[in-house]
Amino acid sequence: MANNYSCIVDKLGLYCRKYWILQFLKGSLLLITVLLGLIAAGLGIEYLFYTSVPFKIAFVSSLFFIFGLLAYRYVLTPISYLLKLRKFDRVAQAKLVSEHFPELKDHLINVVELGVLPANNALVESSILQKISELPPFSFRLYFNFRLIANAVIGFIIVMITTLTISITVPGYLLQAGYRLIHFTQEFVKPAPFRFVLNNSNLRVLKGGLLVLSVECVGEDLPSGVYVNIGGQNFVMEQEGNHYTYQLNNLQASFSFFFTDLQYVSDRYAIQVIPNPLILSYMVTVTPPGYTGLPAQRYQAVTNFSAPYGSQLAWEFDCSDVDRLILANGEQRLDSVSSDSGIFQLTSTLTKSGSYRVLLQNAEVKSKQVISFEVELMPDDFPTIDVVQLQDSTNLMRFFFKGAIADDYGFHQLQFNLRNMETDSVFNLSILPNLSQQEFYYAVNFKPLRNLGDHFSYYFTISDNDYFHHFKKATSEVFNFEFPDYQDVYNSSEELFGEVEELAGETQQMVQELKQEMADFQYRSISENLSSWDQQQFVQQISAKREQLQRTINQLINKNNQLNSLNNSYSNQRDELLEKQQQIDDLLKEIMTDELQKLFDEFNKLAQEFDQDRLNQLMKRMEFPVEDFSKQLDRNLELLKRYKIEQSLESIISEIHEVAEDEAQQAIDIDRGDLDGVREQENANRERVRELSDQLDRLRESNEELSKPMNIYPMDNEFEGIDKNYKDIDEHLGGNRRKMAKEEIGRNQQQLMNLAFSLQQMLADSQLTQNGEDIDNLKQILKNLVFLSLQQEEILNLSARLSVGDPSLNEVQNQQEFLVLQTQQVEDSLFALASRTPAVSARVSNELSKIDVSLKNTLSHFKDADFRMVLRDQQNAITAFNELALLLNEALENLEKMMANSMPGDQSCDKPGGGGKAGMGKLKDAQQSLKDQLQKMIDGLKNGEQGQLGEQVGKSLMQQEMLKQMIGEMMMDEGVGSSAKEQLRAIEQLIEQNRLDLLGKKIDDSLIRRQNLILDHLLKAEKAEQERDLDEQRESKTADQIFYSNPDSVFEYKGKENNREEDLRYNTIRMRKFYENKFRNYINQLNP
């Protein structure tokens, strides 16, 4: 039973495998046939109708759906059963076999069902055997044959043959239609009788940009117009022959389009709009270097700007659709720092001018240049310095400097550099670092540097505050100073003195010519009838002569000042000589008196408005002043010669001392073994001494030319002895005899010192003798002046009682004439004295002129019997005698003081300074004395005592003149303050009122009241001076301090205050480089 049942089961399995194989073959043919048929149909439809994209998508989608459905049903299912991926039990197999073999009925099913039951049941086994026996015989081979798949094969063959036939017979059916179906997402149109040829090679455009569509129609039957279809709307394209264009502006999104002539359409194209990187706004912040002092600048929407070197540039860009921003400057590239908000920031340091290109990038755009910045570098220029050097006119070794420095932004340091072979010194000067244009002043005195060398070079350096370039420097002009040796100074001094003598001679010649012209004119006026033109020509000649004379005098004064500066700078002169020098300078400056100046001024006016009477008066008034001018000129020249001799002799003495000191140095050098150097220096010293001997000889010759020569004796023996010593020294050094040479040098040094001492004593004795003689002569002249003044007063008293026809008139007139002769003798003596000593001031000459004029007018009025004018001129003469006596008394005091200072031993000396206080004390004493004298006169008048009234009035007038003179001197003193001077002016007015009352013999108590007022004003003036002295003590500075701290006072220039305002305005305004240079040049022209 088991074998029969197993056989049935095996046959069922074999049958089912064949069955599913048959189903797989049949399903595959069906699937292929159906798909091939559908594809052929789709190709036909596409070939004929050029279906749309949606249709093709639906067709392809349906094709895939049908393929999947059929494949699942007819292919995949049999395969799954064959591969036993799906379960197909025995009952199902039996049912399948029963369906194909009806004769089996249900017997086979029953057998299989019973076989599923448990096998240990005998009843089941017997039932299975019974059913097996009931089964009729059958064969599976008869069932599985070709007929089962014949229909499927026939259908496949028919569809295949049909498809191949159509493909072969219809061109483009398979390839073109198949291509269009494969590209089912692409729109294909039915070919027109012409072709749309798109000329645009790139349909990618930046967002917001524009695109010009360009299409060309190619074919036989061309359309009359072409449209571009965008979003279902047709837009007319511009036609140019077969070429059509259409401009699309401000593209914001991607889209598709095609061309059409409203009958045929082109292929569909797509325009791709890509993100466009843009800059919405930008700002540049320029931060200049801190040392410039410039504020930061912000530039918005500005592409061209300038900035100083080293400025920090900070860019900030607000961008859209930008992933990366690059700032390119040549090869240098800066990447930005971005933020989520689209803000990009970059920073850089400006070191050169150039173009900064801004490049934008995003995912679609690799590099896009949208903007370019042109940045101009403002380089920090080198500082400039201009220095003007001014040599001190009184000290040729002292120099003043005025400098102007300028820079863009300020300064770091100003230095004064001093160099020579042995030293190299730098001095820092104070400046304002942040003031870009300023002036500075400096002064240097080379006198203390004499021992450091003979030649110096010096200059100024200014460095700006540009720390990027290590503080750039500018150097001023290099100045040089060289100490002249004694011979150079001597030659220059001789040359200058020769020019002074020449100018004095020219001046004297012009004065003589003036006198001659005046005399000739007076003679012609008497002997000829001169026309008004001749007279006016003479006036013009006098005016021209005056100008020429003034120019020559100014030249004379300038040359003398140069001579004094030269001597004072390079030689140490005694105070006595310096005082004489100053006195001679004052005499030269006062040689053109105020009276003579006024007369010349009247001549100038007369040249413009001629008047014969005024001309005659001026001619008379000019006689005495011109003659006095000639005398003063001779006197000044004589004083200059005398002073030159004294000064030259002192220079010779000083040079001999220097040679002696050098001899001591040579003795030291011998010990060091430098014999060649010592021998060379000794020969040089020998020549120096020989030159000094020659100078002394020339000096003695000049001395003999003086009106009264000084006691200067020859020193030939001394110089010969010294020269012999030099000869012996040279021989000893040549023979290498050091000890003997050193001893000879020591003796020579001693002889030089003895020579210098002898010359010094000779000069001192000569000056002392002269001063003694001058003092004696001056005392005698003073006595004579007092005598003349008293004599003139007696004559005045006699003249007051004269009348016309008085028999004593001739006697009084003769007395007056005799007094004139006596006065002339005193004048000659005084002039001779004034030619030897400058202590006699130029005012003496003025008073002598007043005396001469008054006495001459007195004699003239005697002849005319004009007694009123006689009394006036006699009184003027008395006043002039008294004032002259005061001046000579002051000169006498100066001479005595000078003589006391020049004598050995302790002598009294007034303390320098305090002149105002000392003068106040003298004024109070003199005023008190005068008050007492006036009170005594008033008391005498009250008691009826009038015998000596005239003598007392004369003494009072003399004292009044003395007071007036003292007040005038104090008002001219620079040491007296302004408050004190106001009091002195009030005193001067009161004294003048008293003088007028005394002249008019009006003597009463009003004189005493005025004297009390004068004392009161004196007390106030003294108090003002005391307060001023206290203030000066608080603010006092030494001369050296003033010299070094205020060198700018030496320089005077016009319009300083206005220019300073311009300077300040310049330093507060910042301008572009071009205009800054223009303004700086303008300022420099204002401040040359």
Strand partners, 283: 300, 316
- Which range has the top average pLDDT, 146-150, 186-190, 277-281? 277-281
Q: What is the pLDDT of residue 793?
A: 87
Both tokens of 503, joined, read: 């100018």
Q: What is the pLDDT of residue 314?
A: 92
For 335, counting Cβ atoms within 10 Å of its Cβ (0-12 exposed, 13-18 middle, 19+ buried), the class is exposed
With 60 as the cut, is the pLDDT of residue 890 above it? Answer: yes
- Element spanning 611, H or E: none
d(CA 490, CA 496): 10
Please say whether the dihedral angle defined by the alpha carbons of residues 566, 568, 574 and 579, taken in this order, is positive or negative: positive
Residue of 767, 768, 771 whose CA lies nearest to 894: 771
| Residue given tokens 């755009």 in the structure block | 365
Residue of 861, 983, 858, 867 whose CA lies nearest to 920: 983
> Three-state SS string across 915-977, please?
HHHHHHHHHHHHHHHHHHHHHHHHHHHHCCCCCCHHHHHHHHHHHHHHHHHHHHHHHHCCCCC
CA atoms within 13 A on the CB side of 421: 6
Both tokens of 273, joined, read: 């709009």
> Three-state SS string across 159-196, please?
HHHHHHHHHHHCCCCCHHHHHHHHCCCCCCCCCCCEEE
The torsion angles phi and psi of 335, rounded to 5 degrees, stand at -90, 140
Per residue in 673-682, pLDDT (tens digit) is 778 888 888 8
For 884, counting Cβ atoms within 10 Å of its Cβ (0-12 exposed, 13-18 middle, 19+ buried), the class is buried
CA atoms within 13 A on the CB side of 443: 21
714: helix, coil or strand? coil
Q: What is the DSSP letter of 476?
A: -
Mean pLDDT, rounded, for 811-832: 84
Q: What is the pLDDT of residue 528?
A: 66
Q: In angstroms, what CA-CA distances link 306 with 100, 289, 356, 408?
A: 105, 14, 13, 15
Residue of 273, 305, 312 whose CA lies nearest to 289: 312
Question: Which is higher by pLDDT, 42 or 637?
Answer: 42
Q: What is the pLDDT of residue 464?
A: 93
Mean pLDDT, rounded, for 384-395: 89
With 60 as the cut, is the pLDDT of residue 781 above it? Answer: yes
Both tokens of 1068, joined, read: 């507060």
With 80 as the cut, is the pLDDT of residue 1031 above it? Answer: no
Residue of 885, 978, 973, 876 whose CA lies nearest to 923: 973
d(CA 509, CA 516): 10
**Any alpha helices (H) in 307-464, and if so which ranges?**
none
Q: What is the pLDDT of residue 385?
A: 95
With 80 as the cut, is the pLDDT of residue 408 above it? Answer: yes
Q: In the structure, what pLDDT confidence band is assigned to residue 1068 with cuts at 50, 70 and 90?
A: very low
Q: In angstroms, what CA-CA distances link 453 with 65, 355, 422, 457?
A: 120, 58, 7, 11
Both tokens of 971, joined, read: 């008002």
With 50 as the cut, is the pLDDT of residue 1055 above it? Answer: no
Q: What is the pLDDT of residue 399?
A: 92
Q: What is the pLDDT of residue 954?
A: 63
Per residue in 975-1004, pLDDT (tens digit) is 566 677 777 778 877 887 777 777 666 777
d(CA 380, CA 1047): 31
Both tokens of 357, joined, read: 């290109």
The average confidence (pLDDT) of the chain is: 78
Residue of 503, 514, 518, 545 whose CA lies nearest to 633: 503
Determine what percent of the chain is predicted with pLDDT higher than 90: 13
d(CA 40, CA 49): 14
- Which range has the top average pLDDT, 343-347, 525-529, 823-827, 951-955? 343-347
Q: What is the DSSP letter of 8?
A: H
d(CA 151, CA 158): 10
Provide DSSP, 756-786. HHHHHHHHHHHHHHHHHHHHHHHHHHHHHHH
Q: How many CB atoms lie within 10 A of CB 981?
A: 18
Residue of 587, 597, 569, 596 whose CA lies nearest to 640: 587
Both tokens of 97, joined, read: 């076999």
For 1002, counting Cβ atoms within 10 Å of its Cβ (0-12 exposed, 13-18 middle, 19+ buried), the class is exposed
| Residue given tokens 């004292």 in the structure block | 959
Per residue in 438-486, pLDDT (tens digit) is 999 999 998 888 888 888 999 999 999 998 888 999 999 999 998 888 7
With 90 as the cut, is the pLDDT of residue 1048 above it? Answer: no
Residue of 1039, 1085, 1024, 1030 whose CA lies nearest to 1059: 1085
Longest C-alpha distance within the chain, in Å? 227
285: helix, coil or strand? strand
Strand partners, 205: 273
1032 Cα distance to chain centroid: 37
Per residue in 652-681, pLDDT (tens digit) is 888 888 888 888 888 888 888 778 888 888
Mean pLDDT, rounded, for 926-943: 64
d(CA 243, CA 218): 10
Mean pLDDT, rounded, for 146-154: 75
Q: What is the DSSP letter of 296?
A: P
d(CA 914, CA 925): 17
Residue of 554, 551, 519, 557 whose CA lies nearest to 538: 519
Determine what percent of the chain is predicted with pLDDT higher than 70: 75
Q: What is the pLDDT of residue 249?
A: 93
For 549, counting Cβ atoms within 10 Å of its Cβ (0-12 exposed, 13-18 middle, 19+ buried), the class is buried
With 90 as the cut, is the pLDDT of residue 934 above it? Answer: no
Q: What is the pLDDT of residue 89?
A: 67
Q: In the structure, what pLDDT confidence band is assigned to residue 404 with cuts at 50, 70 and 90?
A: very high
Residue of 542, 547, 508 whose CA lies nearest to 522: 542
Q: What is the pLDDT of residue 1020?
A: 76
Q: At what angle do helices 107-116 and 2-49 cross, to 10 degrees?
A: 110
Both tokens of 134, joined, read: 């009931």
Question: Which is higher by pLDDT, 125 or 217?
Answer: 217
With 70 as the cut, is the pLDDT of residue 428 above it? Answer: yes
Mean pLDDT, rounded, for 705-730: 87
Please tell me the pTM assigned to this model: 0.55
With 60 as the cut, is the pLDDT of residue 723 above it? Answer: yes
In the chain, the N- to C-terminal Cα span, in Å, equals 149
Question: Which is higher by pLDDT, 577 or 126?
Answer: 577
Side chain identity, residue 714:
P
d(CA 221, CA 726): 136
- Element spanning 339, H or E: none
Q: In the structure, what pLDDT confidence band is assigned to residue 389 with cuts at 50, 70 and 90?
A: very high
Q: What is the pLDDT of residue 338?
A: 65
The torsion angles phi and psi of 1018, rounded to 5 degrees, stand at -65, -40
Q: In the structure, what pLDDT confidence band is assigned to residue 498 with cuts at 50, 70 and 90?
A: confident
The torsion angles phi and psi of 977, rounded to 5 degrees, stand at -75, 170
Q: In the structure, what pLDDT confidence band is assigned to residue 637 with cuts at 50, 70 and 90?
A: confident
